[in-house]
Structure 1
């Protein structure tokens, strides 16, 4: 009986650890460095984690929204990666900052020239983008992650309001309102919308740096371990008391 109680307590503790640690699984996401204000320019980071323990990420492809095209997209050079910016003709030319825009960036592709993103690591891919649209609160991107074992993961599922997060959610960039004084506020370089050069200075990033979501996941994981340990201890003590009785 004692052994069975301890085993049961251990099983409950293990389940608690798994349940609490679940948020540690990460997805491809996008966040601005500072603020991404409507009508302005911003530097955004696409964060790509390696979710496999037997393969490295060798290619990352980010597809841009066609309903809100961005004329200026400038990648930051990254050691160990080559980058290609693909543009497409717009079905209907746009007028941005007083100029007609007939093409926009449709895709940015990074290809590893070295080891890529190895198991247990993530990489940030910075882009300077603009001008950001003023008639939407968010931009939805579709990302495709390719591993060196030929596995392809498509992060393309939109989040439906009122529903659980999909298995492979698409990265979403939330846009803030422009400031009251008319300034758009941006951490990006305010280039002309027609400037589509492929090199721009941006804050350096490290594949081993952690952001707030990683910190939260670690804290939740520790809490899960503590809960599990408490469950095992309770089972042992309960077994001892019944044996003495």
Structure 2
């Protein structure tokens, strides 16, 4: 059995060689042209939808994603902080204990009130005599002159006292070597010593025999160091900030 290769054409039908297609604006809309136009319109419609609907929606999604990531990081950080809370609390307590130990090394207002009495007892117990005790300042003043290093400026204050002691050589040496035992962070400065009474020599059995020791008069400045209180530190920080602001304003005017 064989089949003809040509398509079957019903009887009475004629094959149109030039079918008629709609025409507009000088363009004949053949199937091929119509397909191209539909494709172009489809691309344009997709672009329009993308610009007016898809892009804003995507931007909103990106913002939501960023917010979600940020909140998740905050949650993770809070959880980590909660996990570390016991360790941080222990470190805080240790730091506070160390801070208190350091503060205990300094003098305080209470020990300053009894400094004269304590110093006199200390000197007499070592066979010396306190002959002068004269405070240089009426009250402790902040250290700003760098005499104890620039790192101390604005953090410590001192109460300075002029002291004069009389005693033998051994007594004077004992007083100066052990004065730090009297009170924490007492600093001896500007030390001078002179002979107040010469040693007595007695002639016995054809030779001179020294009697006792020469009496020395020793003067020095005694600095009692105290930490600034929290209120004083806050006031110092405020004054420093005001000075810095004033300097910046002066530079701006120049």
Q: TM-score, normalized by length of structure 2?
A: 0.22
Larger Rg: 2
Determine which structure has greater relative contact order: mean sequence separation of CA pairs < 8 Å that are 6+ residues apart, divided by chain length: 1
Q: Which has the higher strand share?
A: 1
Give the TM-score of the pair, scaled to structure 1: 0.23
